[in-house]
Amino acid sequence: MNNFKASILIGGVVLSALSASAQAEITVLDKNPQSNSLLAPLSLQVGGSIRPEWIFNNGPEPGYYKNGHDGGTRFRFRGDYKLTEDTSIIGYYELGVDMAHLLGMDNHYAEGAQRDTQRQLYAGIKDDRYGTLTYGHQYGIYYSVVGIKSDVWDNDGHAGGTGIGINGNYDGANKPKNSIKYTNDFGPVTLYANYLLPEDEIQAGEDQHYRRNNGGGVGFDYKLTKDLVWSAAYSLTDATVKDNQYNEKDYHQQLSGTALTWQPNNWYIVGTGSYYKDFVPSTRENPVDHYFAGSGYGVEGFVGYTFNIDAPFLKSVQPYVAADSLQLKGGEEYHANHVYLGAGTTIGYGLSVYVERTLAHSSDDEADATWVTVFYDF
């Protein structure tokens, strides 16, 4: 019965993809410069990505992996209110939804998993000359500058700072809550800066808690040529870890990284390197005074070439190879190395399919795996 429900879900995704035109977002309300009404300067857009996924491990795995599960479905809502020719008030909301959980498909989602979660929510002001200033739950400096460059294959995130810290919504590496962010372009350079306000503590173990006190970061993209971009970022987060026995310790978490992205013609080639200090949770027993691994580094690389076919139901194919390596020091002596072989096929009408094989070699004997993910973007 659950497989039947899964088939209905996937079939519905395919049919909706074939019946809709491919576009990044749908404009619900467009600006009307000919009108003097209060809502004339307002535009509203909606979009999203529905992502059924299957994972087949060469080892023990949760049943929902191979049964089919949600691989990160999200819905986006964007608003823009034009104040002048150059200045707008902007807002953005992104909701993550576990579609299998929402539809009550047992054995297709992790027990205890959330049905929906806020991925981003922010608002601010955008000016063509003075830049963009926003406040809320939004991408941090590391991801905006470095992480996004290598977030291009399916089973990624094993060596970059975005997904290996305690929680990217709090430590600043992914989408920190309660943050102020500024971006602006200065010729070939795009500048990024943010400040992380204090956040409530979160669970960090059976009897441990993590609290962000404050933080901030800076970064830049430098366009060396029309095809080549050099990026670098640095973030610092002051945090406290405590336990139920009133033991606590303050940490100055450091996260820095750099990326080189080359996109000649149909190629996409990127390499990143990141350094971590008191950022990655220890792989050993982690009491309060040694909750984080002392230091470590991660490198990532991706090479892909897109073949444009532009035939009915087959628009393009991108075969690719990627690799990453994470090394933790400070008494950890932990390593994890991966090689990824895959291909992304764009069918059209917003529909694409990725098939990827992960070859793993790690201190904790991670199993090899095959990932199959369907994307319906609208």
Q: Residues 45-71: pLDDT tens digits?
A: 999 999 999 999 987 778 888 899 999
Whether residues 173 and 289 fall in one domain: yes
pLDDT at 5: 44
Domain containing 276 equals 138-378
Last residue of a domain, one of 81, 110, 129: 129
Whether residues 122 and 148 fall in one domain: no
Whether residues 356 and 306 fall in one domain: yes
pLDDT at 1: 45
Q: From 288, 225, 226, 299, select the one nearest 259 (Cα to Cα).
A: 299
* Per-residue CA distances from 285 to 66, 206, 281, 308, 335 (Å): 31, 12, 10, 50, 17
Alpha carbon 336 to chain centroid distance? 20
Whether residues 29 and 115 fall in one domain: yes
Whether residues 34 and 83 fall in one domain: yes
Mean pLDDT of the residues in the chain: 91
Read out DSSP for 347-377? EETTEEEEEEEEEEEETT-PPPEEEEEEEEE
Last residue of a domain, one of 103, 129, 155: 129
**pLDDT tens, residue by residue, 228-276:** 999 999 999 999 999 999 899 999 999 999 999 999 999 999 999 999 9
pLDDT at 14: 46
Give the mean model confidence (pLDDT) for residues 319-331: 93
Whether residues 193 and 296 fall in one domain: yes
* Alpha carbon distance 311, 200 (integer Å): 52
Whether residues 272 and 326 fall in one domain: yes
Last residue of a domain, one of 101, 129, 157: 129
Band of residue 24 on the pLDDT scale cut at 50, 70, 90: low
Count of domains forming the chain:
2
Give the mean model confidence (pLDDT) for residues 183-190: 98
Query: Model-level pTM?
Result: 0.91
Whether residues 77 and 147 fall in one domain: no
Whether residues 306 and 198 fall in one domain: yes
pLDDT for 342 beyond 70:
yes
pLDDT for 193 beyond 60:
yes
Whether residues 244 and 99 fall in one domain: no
Whether residues 235 and 107 fall in one domain: no
Whether residues 107 and 160 fall in one domain: no
Give the mean model confidence (pLDDT) for residues 23-44: 82
pLDDT at 35: 76
**pLDDT tens, residue by residue, 263-303:** 999 999 999 999 999 999 998 877 898 999 989 999 999 99
pLDDT at 173: 95
**CB of 24 closer than 8 Å to CB of 41:** no
**pLDDT tens, residue by residue, 70-129:** 999 999 999 999 999 999 999 999 999 999 999 999 999 998 889 999 999 999 999 999
